[in-house]
Structure 1
Amino acid sequence: MNDSLDTETHTTATVPVVRHRGQHATATTDRIAQEWPVAIVCNGISHAVMMCSPADLEAFALGFVLTEGIVERRSDVVDIEIVWHDGSAEVEVTLVQQAFGELKVKRRSLAGRSGCGVCGIESIELLDLEADRIASGTFLSTLDPQAVARAAAGLPDRQVLQKLTGGVHAAAWCDANGEILHVCEDVGRHNALDKLIGKIAFARQSTQDGFVFLSSRASYELIRKAARVDVPMIATISAPTSLAINIAKQAGIRLVAFARGDGFVEYAPA
């Protein structure tokens, strides 16, 4: 792995600001989240450019190719290397030949945004809004009723970049008791999820024996990504969209939202 620039120095920047309170103005500085264009290059061909926080980029690339359906399994990825530039990066992903051949057949162009999952798609017909049923195992039957509350209580202390900047999303991987095992942060909520899925894949852990907790709303692309890798449950701090609910029901994903304190709203029972 080669994430040598993935430090606080490169994920935040210090800028001059003027703070106003009442009739008083004070010149000072503020920490803001860095947002870089990151190109994902598969076997030498640029596939997507996303606006990201420049951290955990190897995990981001692996999660992206899995959740976008570019590859079906971790073993389809042979190698991942990062090429750093001034204010941007390229992540070179080497796929096995069969996976690369399939990618060339179905390849489409993407132009990423930090808050959009479909920018660059050429027509409505190319949207993938159908989800197969996930293979969820027995996780939901063993889930502690207080697990979501524990995850909601524990996440703020794990959001390092959010504490510094106030401007990033977090995606957490939690076990059946609500203990947070991994946290990834990014300016884009779907990037944070891709990083999380990639981190789980690098650790060769199952995506079927835990749940994702997101510090965002539940939008369709987040549920679609989770469905591709058999995540059985998603909990979010904010509201879901109608399409997110529909895809969760198609896939058999349990979707809960407004997870704050010891309560939540269940929109899609498994």
Structure 2
Amino acid sequence: MTAPETGSRPFRFAVLRPDSHQSEFLERALISEVPVAFEYNGIGYAVMMATPVDLEDFAIGFTLSEQLVDSANDIESIDTHRAEKGWIVRIQLPADRAEKVYARARQRVSESSCGLCGMDNLDEVMREMPNVTARLEVADDAIFVALQALRDHQHLNAATGACHAAAFCAVDGSILMVREDVGRHNALDKVIGAIAKSGNAPENGFLLLTARCSFELVQKAILANCPALVTISAATDLATHTAAKYGLRLISLARQDSALSACP
């Protein structure tokens, strides 16, 4: 297994200012974005544009979100390898689980801005999902506690200013873990994987994302059986409708002084 990268690298820039005739330069860190290929039992399954940190968590969360396994315990092994043009993550599943991979494997490339690229048809995108069965009372105050604390946990974003974060929060709003990535879908998969690897379960807390709330993020939260999803930016109509349909409490436009809780 190859050691992962730090997630950023320094670049030199010329500073442009209005009415300035002097040359000014600075060096700052940029977020890393590389292709990360997922292989299951030797079969190429997907290529995601991602930040190459916490790749094992990413692999676990992605595998769970794709419904290729029921739990992280179904994954036999995960190996990460640096390639010439990116990273390869090789995941080994039991033979009975691999059948689903063979049935669904296809040539597809997903960009960090879209979590549905490569879906074969509309029925697959809009497939039925299980209802959220987790019941956890998250007080309004806990949401604002988590919002207040989140920035201190965004280390990669502090260095680059270009990174999404997904946090798993306890019922009192304390932040249990955070994962970061250039892609919001990737960050969510990473934290779902980290939760599973820790032996905890998403039903024991709520998710907080530094992103607008689109359908795919709601879908991942529902499949994780998480009782509540909080996003800093607004939700789409489909995300809101889907959350209500399957019993996910959705809170969007979360700010220090207010948030919108979707009514069922």
Which bracket does the TM-score occupy, shorter chain normalised? over 0.9
1:22 partnered with 2:22: no
CA distance in 1, matches of 2:75, 2:195: 14
AA aligned opposite 2:67 = G
> In structure 2, what is the equivalent of residue 187 of structure 1?
182
Q: Is the 8 A contact 2:4 2:55 kept in 1?
A: no
CA distance in 2, matches of 1:95, 1:266: 39
How far residue 261 of structure 1 moved from its aligned partner, in angstroms, is 0.5
1:56 partnered with 2:58: no
Alignment partner of 1:229 out of 179, 202, 224: 224
Alignment partner of 2:208 out of 200, 207, 213: 213
1:77 partnered with 2:72: no
CA distance in 1, matches of 2:83, 2:100: 30
1:123 partnered with 2:118: no
- The 10-residue stretch of structure 1 (27-36 or 193-202) with the greater mean CA deviation from structure 2: 27-36
1:111 partnered with 2:109: yes
How far residue 110 of structure 1 moved from its aligned partner, in angstroms, is 2.8
1:66-96 CA-partner distances (Å, limit 9, x unpaired) = 0121212112111111011244111110111
> In structure 2, what is the equivalent of residue 13 of structure 1?
9
How far residue 129 of structure 1 moved from its aligned partner, in angstroms, is 4.3
Secondary structure (helix, strand or coil) at the match of 2:81 reads strand
Distance 1:83 1:177, change over 3 A: same
Secondary structure (helix, strand or coil) at the match of 2:262 reads strand
CA distance in 1, matches of 2:14, 2:100: 53
AA aligned opposite 1:70 = L
> In structure 2, what is the equivalent of residue 171 of structure 1?
166
Q: Is the 8 A contact 1:253 1:268 kept in 2?
A: no
Q: Is the 8 A contact 1:146 1:262 kept in 2?
A: no
Q: Is the 8 A contact 1:190 1:222 kept in 2?
A: yes
**How many residues are matched?**
262
TM-score w.r.t. structure 2 length? 0.94
1:153 partnered with 2:148: yes
CA distance in 2, matches of 1:56, 1:4: 10
Distance 1:79 1:163, change over 3 A: same
Q: Is the 8 A contact 1:131 1:247 kept in 2?
A: no
> In structure 1, what is the equivalent of residue 238 of structure 2?
243
1:256 partnered with 2:256: no
Structure 2: runs of 5+ lacking an equivalent: none
Secondary structure (helix, strand or coil) at the match of 2:78 reads strand
- The 10-residue stretch of structure 1 (86-95 or 128-137) with the greater mean CA deviation from structure 2: 128-137
Alignment partner of 1:198 out of 190, 193, 198: 193
How far residue 108 of structure 1 moved from its aligned partner, in angstroms, is 4.3
Secondary structure (helix, strand or coil) at the match of 1:80 reads strand
> In structure 2, what is the equivalent of residue 133 of structure 1?
131
AA aligned opposite 1:232 = P
How far residue 105 of structure 1 moved from its aligned partner, in angstroms, is 2.4
Structure richer in strand, relative to its length:
1
Alignment partner of 1:98 out of 96, 99, 120: 96
